[in-house]
Every structure is written in structure tokens, then in C-alpha cells.
Amino acid sequence: MPKAFITGTTGQDGAYLSELLLSKGYEVHGLVRDKEKSDFWRLVELDVKDKVNLVEGDLTDEERLKNILTDIKPDEIYNLAAQTFVGASWHDPVATADINAMGTLKLLEAFKNCASNAKFYQASTSEMYGGIHTSFALDEATSLHPRSPYATSKLFAHWMTVNYRESFDLFSCSGILFNHESPLRGIEFVTRKITDGVARIKLGLSKSISLGNIDAKRDWGFAGDYVEAMWLMLQQEKPEDFVISTGVTHSIHDLLDIAFEEIGINDWSNYITQDPKFMRPSEVKELCGKNEKAKRLLGWEPKVEFKELVKMMVEKDLERLEK
Ligand code: NAP
Ligand code: F7E
């Protein structure tokens, strides 16, 4: 039975990846910050909480990571833990860098010293492209220009992952994933904030949704599809980095159109307010990824398209609130 160690198990991707690996017969070990106090709602919703071996520890504690890897001897390591909210990274850049940049380096050290036969996956991000303006979709060869403390911390982790591969001949690779969403998305991210807000408006629990820059455009996919790509990357003979995206970009206006249409509202303008507190000091205006390499070498393709994704999220939020 292959063994996987996942950091960030309680997060959106950690939950879907746990479910996927369990379905493939893996023994899954998941890092959690506090076995008593961590919020396990996603693992509970997917009915996998009791099937994952929860291991207590923090990505910033190198000795603990070394002990864990020595004990578990995993075949695959998925580093998904991070301070993931871009907006919050300007308020706490030091903690963001401690976890995302130094935390990853500490895990790479533990991997090199205690589990060097394993394969290592790093959760890199399209935010690393941030300020790149091009009429072409972004791919593995495009240069990087991070526009937030979050993106900058992830850039360090990304290049460290490349560096450990090139320096020590380890199987370490990065997935450069574009935004991916689901009913398990955190409520602070714009997709879930909107689908939850729309469901509240429908049920008379709220009158409007307050947002920041609604002109932003993203390449949004479904998290369930994206964890498949993570697994595929670690099944390759050779460690390589891959862009994972849908190749299609939508604006927040499109998102609002579909979400409000689900509750029978065609003109959402009276239900949206804008608040400067949700604006970012340096915004990433638009992102679109080119997934040709993943299609060609991994045989991966996104299955859920944008409209279906938004509808799925509104439906789930309505169901939760009605309960
Ligand atoms: P998420 O839902 O915010 O989950 C983040 C996870 O990291 C949580 O399990 C959290 O644990 C854990 N964590 C945070 N700080 C930690 C620490 N110091 N030690 C141990 N665990 C810690 O994130 P996600 O959307 O699943 O994203 C997964 C990964 O992919 C992240 O690295 C993210 O940066 C990257 N990524 C995400 C996207 C996307 O669109 N979702 C796109 C590109 C890359 P608690 O429950 O204790 O808070
Ligand atoms: O913002 C705009 C906001 O917070 C998307 C993380 O998973 O994906 C995610 O980062 C856009 C931005 O996601 C609000 O300014 C407008 O332009 O949903 P978001 P993100 O910043 O793209 C990447 C790939 C990651 O790696 C990250 O970990 O929406 N926006 N109004 C808003 N955003 C939020 N959150 N809230 C608003 O009210």
C-alpha cells in the first residue's frame, strides 16, 4: 500500500486529495496544526476524517517535520499547507513568508535528510505571474513577477523546489495551479463569498454582498479536477513543473451573472456594494493559463467548466443554509 504525507490536509485541496488518494488505496497521513482544535469540516463533509491518519505538527517546525517523515517513510509528499489568502498577506507578510517560504524550505530539508526516496509535490501558484502582461496564455516558460507578499513567498518556495531537484537529484516538482474552487472553498475567497452571499440573499438572510475590484479576471477551475493533476505529476518518471489551468478566463461580472441567475435575478447591480477595504495595494488584473504541457505529458484535462462550477457552489451553499 503506497503511503502519502499531505500538509494542509484540512484545507480545500488537502480534503479532495485525501479523498482521491484513499480511493486509490493509499495510506494517507495528514499534517494538522491541532488535533483537538483544528477545523475538520471539509474532511467531515467528504467523509474521510476517520480514514486519514492525522499527525500533529506545524510547517514552521523543522525538527517535528524530520521526525514525522522518519516515522512515516512516505512514498509521496504533497506540500499544500500555506497562508493562502493573498489579501491577508499584506497585513502579515512576515507570518506569510515564515509559513509559505521558510516552511517549505524546512520541509524540503526534512525530505532530503529523512525521506529522500519519496516524491515531493509543491503547491505553486499562478499568482507568481502577477504583473506579467501578455496577450498569450501563461505557461511554464513565462517569466514571473509576483505582486503580493503571498506571491513572493510562493516564488521562493517554487525556486527552492527546483533547486533541490537540480542540486540533489531529488524528485521534487511544482504544480503552478491557477485558481481552483469548489463548495469546500474558504469563505474569504471571492467565488465562495459570492455563492454564499447569493444563497443568503435568496433565503432573506442578507440584502447585499460587499466586494472589492469586480473587474478582476481569473482562470477558475474545479479543485476536484486539480488534485488529480497533482497526483499525476508524482506518477511521472521524471520530476517536472506543470501549469494546471482551464485556459479560459472569466471576470467577476461573469461570476455574478451566473450566481444570481441561479436564484432568478438577472440584474444584480442593486445587490452589490463596493468597499475599499477589499481592494488590494497592488492588484493582479487578469490571469489565463496554458495547460498544453499537462494535456500532453500527464493526459490531464479539466472536466468541470466554469458555469457548472458556480452553479454547484450556489446549490451547495443554499443546501447548507437551508439546513
Ligand atoms: P486552504 O484551503 O487555505 O488550506 C490551507 C491549509 O494550510 C490548511 O489546511 C491550513 O491548516 C494549512 N496551514 C496553514 N498554515 C499552516 C502551518 N503553519 N502549518 C501547517 N499547516 C498550515 O488552501 P487551498 O486552497 O487548499 O490551497 C492548497 C495549496 O495550494 C496552498 O499552498 C495554496 O497556496 C496553493 N494554491 C491554491 C490555489 C487555489 O486556487 N486554491 C491555487 C494555487 C496554489 P489550518 O486548518 O490549521 O488553518
Ligand atoms: O481573489 C478580487 C480580488 O481572493 C480573486 C488563492 O487561492 O488563487 C487565490 O488567490 C480576485 C482578486 O483569489 C473581492 O482582488 C474582488 O483580483 O478569490 P481571491 P486570489 O487572490 O486570486 C491563487 C491562485 C492562490 O494561489 C491563492 O492562494 O477577486 N476581489 N472583491 C475579491 N477577492 C476577495 N477575496 N474578496 C472580495 O471581496
Per residue in 216-247, pLDDT (tens digit) is 999 999 999 999 999 999 999 999 999 999 99
**Do residues 270 and 313 share a domain?**
yes
Domain that holds residue 62: 3-180+221-244
* Co-location of 99 and 166 in the same domain: yes
> What local confidence, expressed as pLDDT, does residue 217 receive?
97
Same domain, 143 and 235: yes
Q: Do 116 and 192 fall within a single domain? A: no
The enclosing domain of 193 has a CATH number of 3.90.25.10
Number of domains in the chain: 2
Asked whether residue 150 is assigned to any structural domain, the reply reads yes
Query: Residue 135: its pLDDT value, please?
Result: 82
C-alpha cell at 317: 451553499
- Tens of pLDDT, residue by residue over 193-208, are 999 999 999 999 999 9
| Sheet strands (E) in the chain | 3-7, 27-32, 53-56, 76-79, 119-125, 171-177, 180-181, 209-211, 217-218, 221-222, 242-244, 250-251, 272-274
> Is 298 a member of any domain?
no
Let me know if 150 is a catalytic residue.
yes
Residue 293 within a domain = no
User: Residue 133: what pLDDT?
Assistant: 85
Between the CA of 118 and the centroid of ligand 2 the distance, in Å, is 33
Domain contains 257: yes
Same domain, 65 and 150: yes
Q: Is 134's pLDDT higher than 90?
A: no
299 occurs within a structural domain: no
Q: Which ligand is nearest to the CA of 79?
A: 1
Per-residue pLDDT tens over the stretch 300-316 = 999 999 999 999 999 99
pLDDT digits (tens, 9 = 90+) for 136-155: 899 999 999 999 999 999 99
Give the model confidence (pLDDT) of 109-123 as tens digits: 999 999 999 999 999
Q: Hey, whose CA ends up nearest to atom 6 of ligand 1?
A: 8
Decide if 297 is inside a domain: no
The answer as to whether 195 is a domain residue is yes
Catalytic residue among 19, 127, 228, 262: 127
- Note if 127 is an active site residue: yes
Query: What's the CATH number where 106 sits?
Result: 3.40.50.720
pLDDT of residue 4: 99
pLDDT of residue 7: 98
Q: Is residue 134 part of a domain?
A: yes
Whether 48 and 168 map to the same domain: the answer is yes
Residue 319 has, within 13 A of its CA and on its CB side, a CA count of 8
CA distances from 177 to 87, 245, 292 (A): 18, 6, 13
Q: Give the Å distance between the CA of 203 and the centre of ligand 2.
A: 25
* Residue 311 sits in the same domain as residue 261: yes
For residues 40 and 117, state if they share a domain: yes
Mark whether 131 and 208 lie in a shared domain. Answer: no
What is d(CA 310, CA 239) in angstroms, rounded to the nearest whole number?
33
Q: Are residues 258 and 151 in the same domain?
A: no
Ligand 2 atom nearest to 216, measured from its CA: 17
* CB-CB contact of 184 with 15 (8 Å): yes
Ligand 2 pocket, 301 CB below 6 A? no
Q: In angstroms, what is the span from residue 202 Cα to ligand 1's centroid? A: 30
C-alpha of 237 from chain center = 25
Instruction: Count other C-beta atoms under 10 Å from residue 323's C-beta.
Output: 5
Residues 149 and 40 placed together within one structural domain of the fold: yes
Integer Cα distance of 181 and 310 in angstroms: 9
What would the pLDDT profile of 36-84 be if each residue is shown by its tens digit? 999 999 999 999 999 999 999 999 999 999 999 999 999 999 999 999 9
- Please report the pLDDT score of residue 43 as a whole number: 98
**Residue 99 and residue 38 share a domain:** yes
The closest alpha carbon to 252, from 280, 276, 303, 217, belongs to 217
Rounded mean pLDDT of the chain?
A: 97
